[in-house]
């Protein structure tokens, strides 16, 4: 009976949606940044999977359908981007420069920290794209012959930590400019960070959405190139 239930695609779809719904309710009740709905959903799903000894294969019978929605969900973020087109045009040069520097800094920090802690080549290749949205990061890792599962986990964690810690960092550093806040969240924490930026305001959400697109393009182009350059430097 258990095998029939957990083996059904409907089980993991229902579990994932229910876990996220619980996370949203808890977050709305508490308004604590650390209780991010996505983080809570992950904890709930992991707990259920471990307690009932559900295999990854059984969970992904339905989980794969949720993964398919990842790309169209990212495309939907173009709506707030269009709404704030005038603001984007006004700050276009600064925006492009900021995202470019942020993307390169992210890849460089990943490479040199991995080297510092003695991680091997495959893991570095798997982590280089951790700050772009998962749909793009998986493609980059595949081209670089990294481990896609590692990329997914790293991307997810960077998004959650960015959404949770980002507002606290802005408060600590007294960053109040809406454009700067949005660009930072989108460049460092992709779609998860953008969901937090949308909570902060329309301008922040639009800038964060733009950052996802631009950072994704820059990372696709530069990740393999920077990896080769850094490898040549650090021998």
Residue 194: both structure tokens together: 């953008």
Kindly state whether residues 75 and 134 are assigned to the same domain. Answer: yes
Selection from 4-8, 54-58, 169-173, 202-206 with the highest mean pLDDT: 169-173
Kindly state whether residues 188 and 78 are assigned to the same domain. Answer: yes
Domain boundary (21, 49, 68) is at 68
pLDDT above 90 for 71: no
Residue 235: both structure tokens together: 């021998």
Kindly state whether residues 26 and 94 are assigned to the same domain. Answer: no
pLDDT above 90 for 104: yes
In the prediction, which pLDDT does 5 show?
Answer: 66
Kindly state whether residues 62 and 110 are assigned to the same domain. Answer: no
In the prediction, which pLDDT does 1 show?
Answer: 58
Give the ranges where the chain is alpha helix by DSSP (H). 2-6, 9-30, 37-51, 56-68, 70-75, 78-83, 85-90, 92-116, 121-127, 134-143, 148-173, 178-200, 202-233
**Which range, of 34-43, 112-121, 150-159, averages the lowest pLDDT?**
34-43
pLDDT, average across residues 80-108:
84
pLDDT, average across residues 103-124:
92
pLDDT above 70 for 7: no
Residue 15: both structure tokens together: 């579990």
Kindly state whether residues 163 and 220 are assigned to the same domain. Answer: yes
Please tell me the pTM assigned to this model.
0.77
pLDDT, average across residues 201-214:
85
Question: CB–CB of 222/107 below 8 Å?
Answer: yes
In the prediction, which pLDDT does 110 show?
Answer: 92
How many domains is the chain built from? Answer: 2
Residue 119, phi then psi, degrees to nearest 5: -75, 150
Question: CB–CB of 220/140 below 8 Å?
Answer: yes
Domain span at 143: 70-233
Kindly state whether residues 175 and 86 are assigned to the same domain. Answer: yes
pLDDT above 80 for 108: yes
pLDDT, average across residues 9-26:
88
Q: For tokens 């820059």, what's the residue?
A: 218
Higher pLDDT, 144 or 75: 144
Taking the C-alpha atoms of residue 43 and residue 31, their distance in angstroms, rounded to an integer, is 18
Taking the C-alpha atoms of residue 125 and residue 135, their distance in angstroms, rounded to an integer, is 16
Kindly state whether residues 60 and 128 are assigned to the same domain. Answer: no
Kindly state whether residues 56 and 160 are assigned to the same domain. Answer: no
Kindly state whether residues 121 and 35 are assigned to the same domain. Answer: no
Kindly state whether residues 61 and 88 are assigned to the same domain. Answer: no
Kindly state whether residues 114 and 224 are assigned to the same domain. Answer: yes
Domain boundary (42, 68, 94) is at 68
- Which string of b and e fits 78-106 if b means at least 16 CB within 10 Å? eebbeebeebbeebeeebeebbbebbbeb
pLDDT above 80 for 63: no
- Residue 171 to residues 30, 93, 181, 189: CA-CA distances in angstroms? 19, 26, 10, 17
Kindly state whether residues 24 and 100 are assigned to the same domain. Answer: no
Residue 32: both structure tokens together: 């604590």
Domain boundary (10, 34, 68) is at 68
Q: For the chain, what is the mean pLDDT?
A: 85
């Amino acid at each position: 009976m258990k095998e029939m239930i957990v083996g059904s695609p409907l089980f993991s779809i229902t579990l994932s949606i229910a876990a996220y719904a619980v996370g949203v309710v808890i977050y709305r009740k508490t308004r604590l940044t650390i209780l991010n709905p996505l983080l809570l959903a992950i904890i709930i799903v992991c707990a259920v999977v471990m307690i009932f000894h559900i295999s990854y294969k059984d969970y992904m019978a339905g989980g794969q359908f949720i993964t398919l929605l990842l790309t169209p969900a990212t495309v939907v973020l173009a709506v707030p981007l269009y709404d704030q087109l005038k603001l984007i045009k006004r700050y276009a040069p600064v925006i492009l420069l900021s995202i470019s520097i942020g993307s390169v800094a992210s890849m460089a920090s990943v490479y040199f920290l991995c080297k510092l802690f003695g991680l091997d080549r495959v893991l570095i290749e798997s982590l280089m794209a951790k700050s772009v949205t998962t749909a793009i990061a998986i493609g980059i890792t595949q081209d670089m012959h990294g481990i896609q599962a590692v990329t997914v986990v790293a991307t997810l964690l960077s998004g959650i930590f960015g959404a949770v810690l980002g507002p606290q960092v802005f408060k600590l550093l007294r960053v109040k400019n809406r454009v700067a806040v949005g660009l930072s969240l989108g460049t460092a924490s992709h779609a998860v960070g953008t969901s937090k930026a949308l909570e902060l305001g329309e301008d922040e959400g639009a800038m964060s959405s733009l950052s996802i697109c631009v950072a994704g393009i820059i990372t696709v182009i530069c990740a393999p190139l920077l990896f080769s350059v850094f490898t040549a430097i650090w021998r």
